[in-house]
Amino acid sequence: MENTAENKMGVMPIGKLVLNMSVPMMISMLVQALYNVVDSIFVSMVSEEALSAVSFSFPAQNLMIGLATGTAVGVNALLSRALGAGDRERANRIAEHGVFLSMIGFLVFLLFALFGSRAFMLSQTQNQQIVEFGVDYLTVVCCFSFGMYGQMIFERLMQATGRTFYTMITQSTGAIINIILDPIFILPKGYDMGLFNMPIGFDMGTKGAAIATVIGQIVACILAIIINEKKNSDIQLAWRKFRPKLHLIGRIYAIGFPSVIMMAIGSIMTWLMNIILITYTTGKETAATVFGVYFKLNSFVFMPVFGLNNGVIPILAYNYGAQKRSRMTQAIRVSLCYASAFMLIGTILFLAIPDVLLGFFNATETMLAIGEPALRIIASTFIVAGVCIVLGSVFQALGFSVYSMIVSLARQLLVLVPVAWALAAIGQRVGNDTLVWISFPVAEVMSAVVTAVLFIRLNKKVISQIPDRV
């Protein structure tokens, strides 16, 4: 007998289903984007050096999140496919291995925090104040990352079974707790907030931002575990019988590891871009800070699309397992339309009011001079990026995550970084630092071309060959 989630993903009208699965994820990711921005806003109240430290910490933090995301992507796709095929026992084993692998990921970054965080910061800047702020931040977020890893995997168990509403609850709860705690841990007591003075404050700077983050993640993790236990009847975890099986680990990472590599590529790209931007003739660390602020701001544009992505992957995987081709193609078309609309809104905002957006981060005149043209140039290809993200979800859902990895590698390391380096060098010679930002639209257009070629190939060899069962 089919369960409710199977019925929903297999028979609900696609337009309604995509919204039903994705809207909760969009809301939760928007809330997450909000707390990432709020983190940086409060940190910017400490000093520009503190904000720079968080920006320089981002590559390592992103890699940590990437390992968690890659594991979750592999588990999500395999689990949805197993449920679509009616194999409950296999679904349970996949879920158990997902939790196990997530805890292994936590141990890896615990070691990094203890032995590698300082060397990582020193590789990007010799400013000792920035280094100390960054070490404080990374030590906390990595040593207590078990909350983030646990939250990520248990939320994906709910997503894979069609329970995205509960994922919205856990993510929103964690984010709201973080937002509330940020000023308390970051700022001193009595700090002038405009409307009032802080009644309580621990004045911990970047360390306080990290503490607020991990507390939110731990609470969200506990809540996700409880909800899975009480509400997710499709998954039954049996730890007494659990034994790691290499073939299942291999299958999870056959799908998920390309996502890990993609995030790793993103981290390497950010690290290299920070080093390139330090050569900025007018801003030095400020240019790298603008780059970090851009990532915070663009999350408001990209997070809804990533939420859409997370909602669509189980739909595609389920109907792939159920051999329902027309529902898959409908889901792809609907998702492309939604993604393009979101990215259009983001493009308009970045082009029209970059000064307002940067102003949230106590931007100096130098930061505004660097940041305004940067945001406008980068935003010019947002819609193209949205299309690539949706097509990337197709690659992941069908087990071709390596295609997404190829696109990411080509975009970020083979095009973006070399072009940025070349344009930065040219900019220094001609006295135009703004040239370096043109590397972003160049890389995005190239990524669209590669994505289109790979999707056409996948459609011809796989999607068009799937039977269309009623």
Residue 72 gets the label, from left (phi > 0), alpha (psi -120 to 50) or beta, of alpha
DSSP per residue over 355-393, as a string?
A: HHHHHTTT--HHHHHHHHHHHHHHHTTHHHHHHHHHHHH
- As given in the structure block, the two tokens for residue 382 are 């947002």
Closest CA to 36 of 357, 374, 299, 218: 299
Q: For residues 101 and 149, give the distance between their C-alpha atoms in angstroms, rounded to a whole number.
A: 9
CB-count exposure of residue 240 (10 Å: 0-12, 13-18, 19+): exposed
Task: Name the strand (E) or helix (H) holding 158.
Answer: helix 146-160
Q: How many residues does the chain have?
A: 470
Q: For residues 181 and 119, give the distance between their C-alpha atoms in angstroms, rounded to a whole number.
A: 29
Q: Tens place of pLDDT for every residue, the chain, 470 residues?
A: 344 444 477 788 899 999 988 988 888 778 878 878 888 999 999 999 999 999 999 999 999 999 999 999 899 889 988 888 888 899 999 999 999 999 999 999 999 999 999 999 999 998 999 999 999 999 999 999 999 999 999 999 998 888 888 988 998 899 999 999 999 999 999 998 878 889 999 999 999 999 999 999 999 999 999 999 999 988 988 888 899 999 999 999 988 887 788 889 989 999 999 999 887 666 678 888 999 999 889 888 898 898 898 889 889 988 898 889 999 999 999 999 999 999 999 999 999 999 999 999 999 898 999 999 999 999 999 999 999 999 999 998 898 988 988 998 999 999 999 999 999 999 888 888 899 999 999 999 999 999 999 999 999 999 999 888 76
CA neighbours closer than 13 Å in the CB half-sphere of residue 407: 28
Helical pair 14-44 and 285-321, crossing angle rounded to 10 deg: 160
Return phi, psi of residue 374, to 5°.
-60, -50
Say if residues 321 and 79 touch (Cβ distance below 8 Å).
Answer: no
CA neighbours closer than 13 Å in the CB half-sphere of residue 28: 26
Closest CA to 253 of 88, 399, 84: 399
DSSP per residue over 115-134, as a string?
A: HTHHHHHHTT---HHHHHHH
Q: For residues 106 and 113, give the distance between their C-alpha atoms in angstroms, rounded to a whole number.
A: 11
The separation between CA 267 and the C-alpha centre of its own chain, rounded to angstroms, equals 12
